Structure 1
Amino acid sequence: MNEEEIIEKLQKFGLTKYESLAYITLLKIGPSKATDITKESGIPHTRVYDVLSSLHRKGFVDIMQGTPRLYKPVNPELVLEKIKEETINNIKVLKELFLELYRSAHGEDLPEIWTIHGFENTLERAEYIIRSAKHEVLINTPFEFLKLLKDEIRRRKDIIFVIISNFDEVPEWLNRDNIILAKSGGAPWLMASWIIGDIEYALFFGALPKDKRREKFYSFWGKSAKLIQNYMHWFYTMYLDNSTVVKPINYNKIKKPLSLTNIRTLITVLKQTSLPKEIEVIGRLVETKEEVTLKGQVVSHEYTPLTASIVLKDKNGKEWKIGGLGSYFEDVEGERFILLE
């Protein structure tokens, strides 16, 4: 990456061109006088003091008092971490403000399902789901569409993929340790497309469009934990259970701890390794809704179209029956499942 690209990216974080140039110069030459910064960077002498003062206020530069006064660049890792924290906090605040704005205008919460118009917009949403997922992505789609997600899938080595498609052979880019791959059954309805990320986002659409109809294509975008919980259930009971697993994950090579949000994903992974397995479960007691964190070993699991659960034995030998979100037969409603070994 050249300096022009770095300056362009720094400007996206609120620095001016001169401020970006001054910070880069200081990183190269170290603590310096304003005159040296001017000489090295080409920033006009009449502007350099204002630029350095602004960088100091923004946390990019420390001022070392003395004669002459020196300007020192703040460690880039510290600067970027601060920007990251501020950006995340700003996003959280904006989300709340947007929700309040929508409620005040419409008298209700944001809709749980949105209609997405256009094939390219649908593809962008599918890519976003893969980029933003923290734990797992479930995909059921024709290989024609799956190939369009190739680059995003290859970048994510830190999450679990469960992918169902109608491929003939397993391509190299899907032959990865963190991917469970299944070949879909013959029924046409099995090729409706679902792309689901954690319990956060879901995208659904039917048949792929012909080229001439791409601008008229539409899909459905969901962001509701209750809805997505049902989508995940359908993904497994309608699609995966009617498909043939042709490539399991390579459990021993996957980095631990491994965090998952869906009980059926957890059991699908456990089926491809041996028990017992050390696990931590974060969830709520079904009876009281009290938050609970349990550690122990998975000693068994149950998986049917109607129920999915594991049995966790804690260090005291007590056995807990744990299900997923919406559980009512089990002892614990699991929200996060963390495999430790």
Structure 2
Amino acid sequence: MREEEIIEKLQRLGLTKYESVAYITLLKLGPSKATDITKESGIPHTRVYDVLSSLHRKGFVDVMQGTPRLYKPVNPEVILEKIKEEIIRDIDSLKGAFLELYREVHGEELPEIWTIQGFDNTVERAEYVIRSAKHEVLINTPLEFLELLKNEIKGRKDVIFVIISNFREVPDWLKGDNIILARSGGAPWLMASWIIGDIDYALFFGALPRDTRKEKFYSFWAKSPRIIQNYMHWFYTIYFDNSEIIKPPNYEKLPKPLSLVNIRTLIVLLKFAGLPRKAEIVGRIIDTKKPVTIDGEIIDYEYTPLTANVTFRHNGKELKVGGIGSYFEDVEGEKFILLE
């Protein structure tokens, strides 16, 4: 990293330009006199003592008393870790304060959908969706945008990816055992791009800008299980079901137990894994809303644009299990755990 970049980042952490330069100079020289720091850094002699005193107050410099007085840089790992902890505490405090302020004024929770402005901010949010997912990530986007997420996708071997794009051929970095690929079919590409993580976060947007630096670009960020459940349904029924699967998962090599939260992702996997499959299902009895965890075997499934459920044999009895929001089945499944 260039020294100019380091100075810029230190300024973002609260140091002035002179303080940043002085600290970098001390890292180069080790314990030094103020005159040596002035000579090496170019900081005016009339300013250097104030700069070093400020660095001492901020925890970046230790003062070694004596004649002459020496200034010693604090270990960067120590001071940066301290700053990191302080920033995290401040962010957590601000989150609570902002939520409380919003509730006081509006009497309700924050909106479930936010507008994200800027292409780079959209890419960062898409990366966050992938990093934070615990079970599955659904992606429908042109290959041009998908390639921007390459490192995040390669780094996650512990979740299932279902990815739809305008593939011509499969890149090597998308050949993981945990990845299902489909080539876009009848669904129009300009309708939307989706990046969905579990039922926690979703990002969606329209056509990509031709010039990401100049054109205004907006995407939409959702954090609501109720809304995201609908997005997941649309992802499968509008896009996936109208696309051609070009790379199945390598189910036998996937680590077990394997947890999923979407009934349609479960059924797509079962089509390749075969039946029956030992499993555990966490959810609620639909009639009573009572929480339940049942173990047994998935012995059949039903998958149509309107219906998605599995037949589950538990203690000699067959139950119909649907996904979140089910009301025709016996059990509303919130988590599906494949055991073999």
Q: Same fold (TM over 0.5)?
A: yes
Larger CA deviation: 191-200 vs 256-265? 191-200
The gaps in structure 2 that reach 5 residues or longer are 1-12, 14-22, 24-61, 66-83
Work out whether 1:338 is the aligned partner of 2:331: no
Q: Is the 8 A contact 1:142 1:191 kept in 2?
A: no
Q: Is the 8 A contact 2:312 2:320 kept in 1?
A: yes
Matches for 1:239-258 after TM superposition, within 5 Å: 239-258=239-258
RMSD of aligned residue pairs (Cα, Å): 2.9
Q: Is the 8 A contact 2:209 2:215 kept in 1?
A: no
Count of matched residue pairs = 268
Q: CA deviation at 1:105?
A: 2.9
Change (3 A) 1:156 1:215: same
Q: Which residue of 2 aligns with 1:123?
A: 123
1:145 is matched by which residue type in structure 2? F
Distance in 1 separating the partners of 2:218 and 2:301: 39
Distance in 1 separating the partners of 2:339 and 2:94: 35
Q: Is the 8 A contact 1:140 1:191 kept in 2?
A: no
Q: Which residue of 2 aligns with 1:59?
A: none
2:208 is matched by which residue type in structure 1? L
After TM superposition, the runs of 4+ consecutive aligned structure 1 residues lying more than 4 A away are: 43-46, 87-97, 212-215
Give the fraction of aligned pairs with identical amino acids, expressed as a percent.
68
Distance in 2 separating the partners of 1:245 and 1:295: 31
Q: Which residue of 1 aligns with 2:178?
A: 178
Q: Which residue of 2 aligns with 1:277?
A: 277
Distance in 1 separating the partners of 2:238 and 2:217: 24
User: Max radius of gyration: which structure?
Assistant: 2
Distance in 1 separating the partners of 2:339 and 2:140: 28
Q: CA deviation at 1:95?
A: 5.2
The gaps in structure 1 that reach 5 residues or longer are 1-11, 18-42, 47-82
Distance in 1 separating the partners of 2:225 and 2:265: 16
Distance in 1 separating the partners of 2:130 and 2:99: 24
Q: Which residue of 1 aligns with 2:317?
A: 318
Alpha-carbon displacement from aligned partner over 1:117-157 (angstroms, at most 9, x marks no partner): 00000000000000000000000000000000000000000
The alignment's TM-score, normalised by the length of structure 1, stands at: 0.72
Q: Which residue of 2 aligns with 1:7?
A: none
Q: CA deviation at 1:273?
A: 1.1
- Determine helix, strand or coil for the equivalent of 1:207: coil
Distance in 2 separating the partners of 1:253 and 1:134: 18
Q: Which residue of 1 aligns with 2:266?
A: 266
Q: Which residue of 1 aligns with 2:287?
A: 287
- Determine helix, strand or coil for the equivalent of 1:211: coil
2:125 is matched by which residue type in structure 1? R
The alignment's TM-score, normalised by the length of structure 2, stands at: 0.72
- Determine helix, strand or coil for the equivalent of 1:164: strand
- Determine helix, strand or coil for the equivalent of 1:188: coil
Distance in 2 separating the partners of 1:321 and 1:114: 36
Larger CA deviation: 227-236 vs 94-103? 94-103
Q: CA deviation at 1:88?
A: 10
Change (3 A) 1:235 1:212: closer
Q: Is the 8 A contact 1:282 1:334 kept in 2?
A: yes
- Determine helix, strand or coil for the equivalent of 1:168: coil
Matches for 1:1-341 after TM superposition, within 5 Å: 97-189=97-189, 192-211=192-211, 214-314=214-314, 316-341=315-340
Distance in 1 separating the partners of 2:212 and 2:240: 32
